[in-house]
């Protein structure tokens, strides 16, 4: 049975309550998955996902593209042995450091981690601290990037969701 690191659908309710646009539940994990793709730590299926991986590496489309291509699911069997070992130690939501780093370096100053925009600018922030954590994981003595003193990103705007309206054809 594969180990599930995360599924975007686990966070749909939080995004709905926050009145955020569809797709925001993909961002926090999708940015990490983009980092894994860019560091060749995902298994590939030649002829199946080549173009999605190439687009991610060329920064075409959204950084969460590969994660979305996989239906917003991150499983251990999607990763190389090294990628899986790193994800187990760093990304695990209960014992890992990723969410704390993400909150500090990317979502700093935002109302929630779900308001980080799905942009390459956000990915660049993720890349800076995940690179450092990965090098530490590999045994190197490297410092973490300086902590931000102001919000590095503008939040995603809330979407006005209208309550269900009665049909004009029904009784008034």
Residue 86 lies in a domain: yes
Residue 161 has a pLDDT of 44
Residues 143 and 5: beta-carbon distance below 8 Å: no
How many domains is the chain built from?
Answer: 1
Residue 156 lies in a domain: no
Residues 41 and 49: beta-carbon distance below 8 Å: no
Task: For residue 27, give its domain range.
Answer: 4-137
- This prediction has a pTM of 0.87
Residue 157 has a pLDDT of 59
Instruction: Look at the alpha carbons of 86, 4, 24, 39 in this order and tell me if their dihedral is positive or negative.
Output: positive
Residue 82 lies in a domain: yes
Residue 159 lies in a domain: no
Cα separation, 153 vs 107, whole angstroms: 8
Average confidence (pLDDT) over 20-31: 90
Residue 163 lies in a domain: no
Kindly indicate the confidence band of residue 111, based on its pLDDT and cuts at 50, 70 and 90.
confident
Residue 164 lies in a domain: no
Residue 169 lies in a domain: no
Residue 160 lies in a domain: no
Between the CA atoms of 114, 26, 5 and 79, what dihedral angle is there, to the nearest 10 degrees? Answer: -140
């Amino acid at each position: 049975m594969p180990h599930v690191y995360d599924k975007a659908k686990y966070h749909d309710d939080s995004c709905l309550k926050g009145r955020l646009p569809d797709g925001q539940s993909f961002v926090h994990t999708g940015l990490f998955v983009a980092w894994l793709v860019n560091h060749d730590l995902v298994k590939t299926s030649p002829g199946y996902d080549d173009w999605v991986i190439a687009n991610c590496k060329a920064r075409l489309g959204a950084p969460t593209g590969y994660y979305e291509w996989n239906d917003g699911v991150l499983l251990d069997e999607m990763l190389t042995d090294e990628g899986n070992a790193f994800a187990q130690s760093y990304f695990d939501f209960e014992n890992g450091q990723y969410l704390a780093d993400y909150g500090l370096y990317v979502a700093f100053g935002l109302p929630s981690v779900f308001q980080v925009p799905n942009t390459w600018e956000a990915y660049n922030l993720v890349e800076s601290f995940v690179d450092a954590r990965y090098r530490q994981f590999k045994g190197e003595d490297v410092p973490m990037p300086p902590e931000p003193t102001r919000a590095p990103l503008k939040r995603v705007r809330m979407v006005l969701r209208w309550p269900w309206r009665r049909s004009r054809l029904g009784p008034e």
